[in-house]
Amino acid sequence: MAYAQSNLKLTQVQAVVRCSGTGGDSGTITLATDIKKASETAATANVDIRKIHWYCDKAASVTITRNSVDIAHLHGTGETDWYGFSDNTENDQDILITIANGDAVCILELSKVSGYGPHQHQGADGDLG
């Protein structure tokens, strides 16, 4: 299976991206284009990682990297959740997903912190303006 990437959810404040592939595959979640809604502009985007879900074959692994900094190295099957917090390491950089040694799926729940306009932040009342 070749590397594939799709948006499972895309709002003004959140993106959920599914990445899959087999050993040797890699792909990039490009902040300026891949998680931008058609109605948004993207300038100097900052995106945090809120959760990661992954499913790897027996010997497979997934590495998540931003600006040459390893954010996570994943084996087996699991989930991370920072419960109200997020990983903001290199959050102004694109996200590189690298799959090694077998089939794997990685789902990233991303928080679009800033840089997506014109109506990005949602107030407590649910208003996006």
User: How far from each other are the two terminal CA atoms of the chain, in whole angstroms?
Assistant: 42
pLDDT interval class at 129 (50, 70, 90):
very low
Task: List b or e across 10-45, with b for residues whose CB sees 16 or more CB atoms inside 10 angstroms.
Answer: bebeebbbebbbbeebebebebeebbbeeebebeeb
Chain centre to alpha carbon of residue 82: 14
Mean pLDDT of 11-32: 95
pLDDT interval class at 121 (50, 70, 90):
low
Share of the chain above pLDDT 90, in %: 74
pLDDT interval class at 96 (50, 70, 90):
very high
Peptide bond into 118 cis (omega under 30): yes
CATH C-level class of 4-116: mainly beta
pLDDT at 43: 85
126's CB contacts (< 8 A; 6+ apart) are none
Tens of pLDDT, residues 40-83: 888 889 999 999 999 999 999 999 999 999 999 999 999 998 88
